[in-house]
Amino acid sequence: MRLNPTFAGFINGAWWPRTRDLTHGLPALLDALFAQVGLAERVIYDLDEWSPAPERIRVHDHTVRLDGYRFQPRNTLYVLFAHRIRLTLLVVPPCAEPRFAHATLMAAATPNDATSADELLMTGVREATDRSDHVAAQKHWGADDGPATARWRRSRPRR
């Protein structure tokens, strides 16, 4: 999980659960949020994206209400806290490739960003693709900025 430090914008952070079972992944998320924001009171989620979940779970000896709706924006969770604080978290799909997930988590934590959930997911795709292309290019070109043959030519004494 990564949070936008300013809590500004449409998305306040991102979470990469490893399962579609909300009751399995949610306690760890709520633990992390407790340390940074406080005690969550309610989680609103998209019914179509998660396995069936109970109406309530217990975290830190506190009951958290789980409300699933079909109108909840895809790939998001709302987490409500005391004092009317609401975080909108982008949910990175559990089956996501690690490079994509990491790029998306980092993009969602950008301060004062007004990017939508769909745009953030596309940013993760672009950055993961760019990074994998960069890694492949580095392997091809070696540690310097040219292929091995070009390094050899540059290192030969000039006559």
pLDDT higher for 138 or 59?
59
Please answer whether residues 111 and 126 qualify as being in contact, where contact means their C-beta atoms are separated by less than 8 angstroms. Answer: no
Structure tokens at 7: 């809590």
Q: Are 46 and 76 in contact (CB under 8 A)?
A: yes
pLDDT in tens, 134-146: 444 334 333 444 3
pTM of the model: 0.75
Q: What is the pLDDT of residue 125?
A: 65
pLDDT in tens, 22-34: 999 999 999 999 9
Q: For the chain, state the CA radius of gyration.
A: 21
H and E: helices and strands count for the chain: 4, 7
* Residue 60 falls in which region: left (phi positive, over 0), alpha (psi -120 to 50) or beta: left
